[in-house]
Amino acid sequence: MKDRKDELNEEPVPEEEEDGIIELIDEDENVIKFRLLGVTEYKGAKYTLLLPAEPNDDVEEDEVVIFSLNEEEQTLDPIEDDRLLQEVFDFYLAEQEEEERD
């Protein structure tokens, strides 16, 4: 699990296209397409988990990109804290495992 905070800066919350693809613009104005893996709430904040929708040089195929979802400002904010990134990812996985058991 990695975060591309160095490559994808604060982004307006994108609209999800019909095919489930979300497009974000990196700091070099390149469009990077993602699939929404999920949204989770952890310790009172919401986070989006994204997977690359197509091969690219910036994000590995199996890399999960996590942003803080700022609903008030309608942005996806990068997360600087590696420990928080891991906690959010682990929490999301635990949620998914619990849903599968139900």
pTM of the model: 0.75
Q: Which residue has the tokens 């700022």?
A: 70
Domain ranges of the chain: 11-101
Residue pLDDT tens, the chain, 102 long: 444 443 444 455 555 555 678 888 878 888 888 999 999 999 999 999 999 998 877 778 888 999 999 988 888 999 999 999 999 999 999 999 988 887
